[in-house]
Amino acid sequence: MKDPSAILITGASSGIGAALAREYAAPGVALSLSGRNAGRLGEIAAACRTAGATVDSRIVDVTDRDAVRGWIEDMDALAPLDLVIANAGISGGTGGAGGEDEDAARRIFAVNVDGVMNTVLPAIAPMGARGRGQVALMSSLAGFRGMPGAPAYSASKAAVRAWGEALRGAVAGDGIEVSVICPGYIETPMTATNSYPMPLLMTAARAARIIRRGLARNRGRIAFPLPLYLVMWLIGAAPPGITDPLMRRLPKKV
Residue-wise pLDDT for 169-185, tens only, equals 999 999 999 999 999 98
Active site residue 229: no
Q: Which residues contact 195 (CB under 8 A, 6 or more apart)?
A: none
- Distances 40 to 9, 35, 36, 57, 71 between C-alpha atoms, Å: 14, 8, 9, 11, 19
Tell me what pLDDT residue 239 has: 86
Domain 6-247 annotated CATH 3.40.50.1820 = no
Confidence of residue 96 (pLDDT cuts 50, 70, 90): very low
**Shortest CA distance to 191 belongs to which of 105, 91, 65, 48?**
91
Residue 46 has a CB neighbour count (10 Å cut-off) of: 12
Query: Catalytic: which of 153, 185, 196, 229?
Result: 153
Mean pLDDT for 181-200 is 75
Tell me what pLDDT residue 99 has: 57
- Region of 166 (left: φ > 0; alpha: ψ -120 to 50; beta: rest) is alpha
d(CA 198, CA 140): 14
